A = this chain, B = another copy of it.
Amino acid sequence: MIELNYDNCIDTNIGKEGISEDKFETLAGQAAECLEEYKKSPPGFMNLPFRFGEAEKIMKEAGKYKNFKNIVILGIGGSALGNTTLNDALNHPYHNIAEGRKTPRFFVLDNSDPSRTEALSQVIDPKETLFVVITKSGTTAETLANFFHFLKLLKDSVENWKENLVFITGSKGFLREFSDMHGIKTFPVPEDVGGRYSVLSEVGLFPAAVSGINIMSLLEGAADAAENEHVPVNYAALQCYFYRKSKNINVFMPYSSRLASAADWFCQLWAESLGKKESSGPTPVKAVGATDQHSQIQLYMEGPRDKVITFLGVEEGMPELKLDFEGHFLNGKSIRQLFKAEEKGTAGALAQAGIPNMTFKIPEINAYNVGELLYQLEVSCAVAGKLLKVNPFDQPGVEAGKKLSYKILEEG
């Protein structure tokens, strides 16, 4: 199972900016109580790991779409980040050009930048493409704009255009109405699950299943996470402690290129769930090890003491890639050894400088562990919301910009 190592947070290890064992015990106790409260009346996302029946149906359906050359996700925010995360973590890192690929090329169009929409139109043939349109409200403007664009191309090139569409949407809204009218294959988004907590629902599972990911295993990992409650409890307790100690920046730094998108996913989860008032809103920052040692570590080491750093470390399953170059100090070492030494060296150097950091130790990157990881982070976030006394499931602050944008669009 995934463990959270927080030795580098404890004051006896890192000095005065650390947390004392006593204080930690108290806060972890409070966090555990928050989790108990949730369990009395679980928020929707907590039911998702146990929907094995639904997942089986999704797998069966997904099988029908595997012969498409491309799958294109039209979605944004929580209707895109989970999909990118699963694809990047669990498919070949160069999936779309890998030889021997048995599932469709995978694209996520998660912006309304017309340059990108046009560019995607140039590299896919709509005939050979499954478009999966994801929006819980059924009304998201960016997603519908891209949908209208590709719908036109699709209708121009295929008679049975409906066969190239799958919707994942709530029970109301434009997309649901369109689906009812035209009979489009549609999966529901559970009503009590918001976008950023939806990766283990139909939203994440259907596209993952089409692209060959073992979604049963993904759910099993998440389901088993419940056995390891100290992980999200401890993470939430530590993060909230350091946030209250004026460390307003939470750097999330996987030592793994395959988990880089998981950091984007985490940044949405954390920012949108906890950024609710002047006294609540740690800013999550994505970094990737070892790459950002050459970009951000200077700032983390010597800059202001306003950060707490979360590493993800992968323990096993990476290729060794032994190096053979006589006379050089890397001779006889492997790229994996270098990579792991860098992870440990960076965490250790930060600890020596008194900067709190912790590491999720992931046994290996596979569907089971990724399911467990994402679920543990969701639980952490929900618990942190209770500790910071905010509602981690709404996002009222996005309305003002939306309204102003629509006004400008109408007038322009």
Contact = CB atoms under 8 A, between A and B. Distances in A.
Interface string A349-371: 11011000000000001000000
Among A293, A336, A340, max chain B CB count under 10 A is at A293
Contact of A112 (B77, B283, B342): B342
Among A120, A278, A281, max chain B CB count under 10 A is at A281
B319 A141 contact: no
Contact of A409 (B105, B140, B333): B333
Contacts of A324: 148, 152
Contacts of A148: 323-325, 328, 330
Nearest to A277: B302
A302 B275 contact: yes
Contacts of A321: 114, 117-118, 149
B267 A296 contact: yes
Interface string A101-137: 0000100001111111111101100000000000000
Interface in A68-113: 76-78, 80-81, 92-94, 96-99, 105, 110-113
Interface string A18-61: 00000000000000000000000000000000000000000000
A112 B338 contact: yes
A255 B113 CA distance: 8
Nearest to A290: B112
Contacts of A120: 93-94
B304 A278 contact: yes
A113 B302 contact: no
B341 A405 contact: yes
A353 B400 contact: yes
Contacts of A396: 298, 302
**In which size bucket is the chain A interface?**
35 or more
Contacts of A299: 271-272, 274-275, 281, 283, 397
Contact of A306 (B248, B268, B397): B248
A276 B110 CA distance: 36
B276 A303 contact: yes
10 contacts: A113-B256, A113-B290, A114-B318, A114-B334, A115-B256, A142-B342, A174-B328, A346-B404, A348-B401, A348-B408
7 closest A-B pairs (Cβ-Cβ)? A281-B303, A77-B294, A275-B299, A345-B405, A275-B303, A301-B397, A268-B295
Given A111-B257, A302-B396, A344-B405, 11 more contacts: A111-B288, A149-B321, A249-B283, A271-B303, A278-B304, A342-B401, A344-B408, A345-B401, A346-B401, A348-B401, A348-B404
